[in-house]
């Protein structure tokens, strides 16, 4: 079916959809479901962390974000808060629409959407292995290096750790934006982690992946000194990731020459 002129990218799945299948209440309900699923997935607990999704209201750019300090199990669609997105970070106070206070971390959610067109959903968690690593001076200085090729899932050759600042402050937001330059995920010193994506599903999936990487790196550190992949190899991985998607078999085989430069499907 050809998309109508009103069609847009679904904020949960990233799939193009029509307005009638994607109401604000449906997005609010999905936001709560994602926030609750963080505990089931082992990447968060209690009312820690927060989740947001970009949500325009007419011409007004904005985001829907979880409320502050409310356990996700008690959170209903009316507790989700809409916050406008101003052009520049840390300037005028945004408009807020809701019966609750937005997450205390609304600043870094806001500033990420204001500065990055690729950010359509942001997940912040206190994932245990990310948080444990983010307490080590070595990680705070160098981040998680390329001990495993999947580090590239966060967008680069390493996963940086943003320096510590008090939660909810503009200083923390500024550190987060710097650590996420050319990246989709980072650790927060003495705090947790952040992942962003083109939709809620992909941001959540990246948060799970980064927590797996942190757990595996912590395990490797207990066994010895992990070796690190070269910059050349990581650049090769990053290049291959640009084509890593569930395409039809024929396309993939045609794309993939073997070690001798031969294609499996004759062109």
> How many residues appear in the chain?
267
Exactly one of 30, 52, 89, 103 binds ligand 13P (CB under 6 A); which one? 103
Place of tokens 């500065």: 115
Give the largest CA-CA distance in the chain.
Answer: 63
Total interface residues for ligand 13P by CB under 6 A: 10
Whether residue 73 lies in the annotated active site = no
Helix (H, G, I), strand (E, B) or coil at 215: helix
Say how far apart CA 147 and CA 149 lie, in whole Å: 7
CA distances from 38 to 72, 181, 220 (A): 10, 25, 25
Of residues 129 and 157, the one with the C-beta less far from ligand 13P: 129
211 binds ligand 13P (CB under 6 A): no
47 binds ligand 13P (CB under 6 A): yes
Of residues 127 and 152, the one with the C-beta less far from ligand 13P: 127
Using the rule CB under 6 A, give the single segment among 44-52, 92-100, 153-161, 229-237 that binds ligand 13P. Answer: 44-52
69 binds ligand 13P (CB under 6 A): yes
Q: Using alpha carbons, select from 102, 125, 135, 143 the residue that is nearest to residue 37.
A: 125
Bridge partners of 64? Answer: 53, 82
96 binds ligand 13P (CB under 6 A): no
* Marked catalytic residue, from 20, 73, 105, 256: 105
Question: Regarding beta strands 96-97 and 121-125, do their DSSP bridges make them parallel or antiparallel, or are they unpaired?
Answer: unpaired
164 binds ligand 13P (CB under 6 A): no
Say how far apart CA 123 and CA 193 lie, in whole Å: 8
Using the rule CB under 6 A, give the single segment among 42-50, 91-99, 204-212, 229-237 that binds ligand 13P. Answer: 42-50
* Contacting positions for ligand 13P (CB under 6 A): 47-50, 68-69, 103-105, 167
The residues annotated as belonging to the active site are 105
């Amino acid at each position: 079916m050809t998309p109508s002129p009103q069609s847009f990218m679904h904020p949960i799945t990233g799939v193009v959809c029509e307005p009638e299948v994607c109401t604000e209440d449906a997005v609010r309900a999905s936001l709560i479901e994602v926030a609750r699923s963080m505990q089931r997935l082992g990447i968060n607990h209690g009312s820690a962390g927060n989740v947001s999704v970009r949500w325009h209201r007419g011409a007004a750019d904005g985001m829907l974000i979880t409320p502050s300090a409310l356990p996700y199990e008690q959170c209903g669609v009316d507790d989700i808060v809409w916050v406008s997105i101003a052009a520049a970070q840390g300037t005028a106070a945004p408009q807020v629409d809701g019966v609750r206070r937005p997450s205390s971390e609304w600043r870094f959610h806001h500033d990420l959407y204001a500065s990055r067109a690729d950010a359509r959903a942001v997940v912040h968690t206190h994932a245990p292995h990310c948080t444990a690593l983010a307490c080590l001076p070595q990680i705070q200085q160098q981040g998680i290096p390329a001990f495993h090729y999947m580090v590239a899932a966060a967008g680069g050759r390493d996963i940086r750790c943003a320096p510590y600042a008090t939660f909810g402050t503009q200083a923390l937001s500024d550190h987060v934006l710097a650590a996420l330059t050319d990246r989709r995920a980072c650790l927060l010193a003495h705090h947790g982690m952040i992942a962003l994506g083109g939709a809620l599903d992909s941001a959540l999936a990246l948060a799970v992946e980064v927590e797996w990487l942190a757990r595996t790196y912590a395990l490797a550190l207990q066994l010895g000194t992990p070796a690190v992949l070269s910059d050349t190899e990581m650049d090769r991985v990053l290049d291959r990731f640009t084509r890593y998607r569930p395409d039809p078999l024929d396309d993939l085989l045609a794309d993939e020459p073997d070690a001798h430069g031969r294609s499996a499907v004759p062109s």
